[in-house]
Amino acid sequence: MELTNAIVKKPGKSMVDGISKSNLGKPDYEKAVIQHNNYIKALEKAGLEVTVLEAEEDYPDSVFVEDPAIVTSDFAVITNPGADSRKGETEAIESAIKEFYSVDNIHRIESPATLDGGDIIQVNNILYAGISDRTNTAGVEQLSEIAGNYGYKTFGIEIENMLHLKSGASYIGDDTVLITGMFLGRPEFLKYNQIILGDSEDYAANSVRVNDYLIIPSGYPMVKKKLEAAGFKLITLDVSEFRKLDGGLSCLSLRF
């Protein structure tokens, strides 16, 4: 399916106070702005028209627009983020999404259910939903009910020792998944071709397929080599400042 649009949000200066379990230090705001601009250029190179939302300083993590929403070609879901400090991010994202989806096709995850978009991997009309610290079973059940009305199937996957499902796995098109060792042997992914990353490469599991291109984080030459050998056309980007907030490439946009 050809993607045509993306929604991103500028990083705010408050991002230095974002949630993080990493030991990489605080992000450099000026560097983050440059990296974010390069990210937008990469999306445009891949053929997307990018809607850029202004920063929200009240929400330090709001640059990660993937979490407050899920977008498909048929419907959108406004989530209920698992981190209390992020729940207010949904308002601006919903306003942006209304420019592209009819009201009838925009749905909500309601408390006590929680769900982060970073826990969702879409493969055509299948949704794999990570059950994590941010996404609970009730959130997956609500998503399954919503998606089922559009002919989609949802499968919950319990995860440990990572923030989101997409922290350790990505669907990169061509019936292929990019996975860390944690997901080796998982029945949900056995039907796909698997490109397996070593422990030192696990951050690269969060890569983004956008039309003809696969966008990957820079600094992983062996991953780059594997993907090129598999025939993928690559764009590499430095997202070091977002990694300091436990964020990756997919976190920075909604693509549809």
User: How far from 27 is each of 9, 85, 244, 246, 247, CA to CA, in Å?
Assistant: 17, 18, 6, 11, 11
Query: Does 164 qualify as catalytic in the annotation?
Result: yes
Q: Decide if 149 contacts 105 (C-beta within 8 A).
A: no
Distance between CA 202 and CA 211 in Å, rounded?
23
Catalytic pick among 65, 205, 239, 251: 251
Catalytic pick among 107, 164, 209, 255: 164
Query: Does 167 qualify as catalytic in the annotation?
Result: no
Buried/exposed 209-241: b ≥16 CB within 10 Å, e otherwise: bbbebbbbbeebeebbebbeeeebeebbbebbb
**CA neighbours closer than 13 Å in the CB half-sphere of residue 255:** 25
Q: How many residues does the chain have?
A: 256
Active site residues: 164, 251
